[in-house]
Amino acid sequence: MLIYQSAHFFLSEWIWSVTWDVYHVPFNIIITLILLKFFLRINMVRAVCLAIFSQLFAFLVLSICAMGAMYIIGIGGGPDSFMVVPKPLYATVFLGLLYALLQTIFFMCTYSRHKIPLSYLAVIVLISNNLTVLVTLLLFSID
- CA 15 – CA 121 distance, rounded (Å): 27
* Residue 83 per-residue DSSP state: P
Mean pLDDT, residues 32-37: 95
- CA 9 – CA 87 distance, rounded (Å): 13
Question: What tens digit of pLDDT does each residue of 52-111 get?
Answer: 999 999 999 999 999 998 888 875 555 555 555 567 888 899 999 999 999 999 999 999
Cα dihedral 43/30/61/11 (nearest 10)? 170
The one-letter amino acid at 55: Q
* Residue 4 per-residue DSSP state: H
Phi, psi of 128 (to 5 degrees): -65, -40
Q: For residue 37, give its domain range.
A: 2-142
How many structural domains does the chain have? Answer: 1
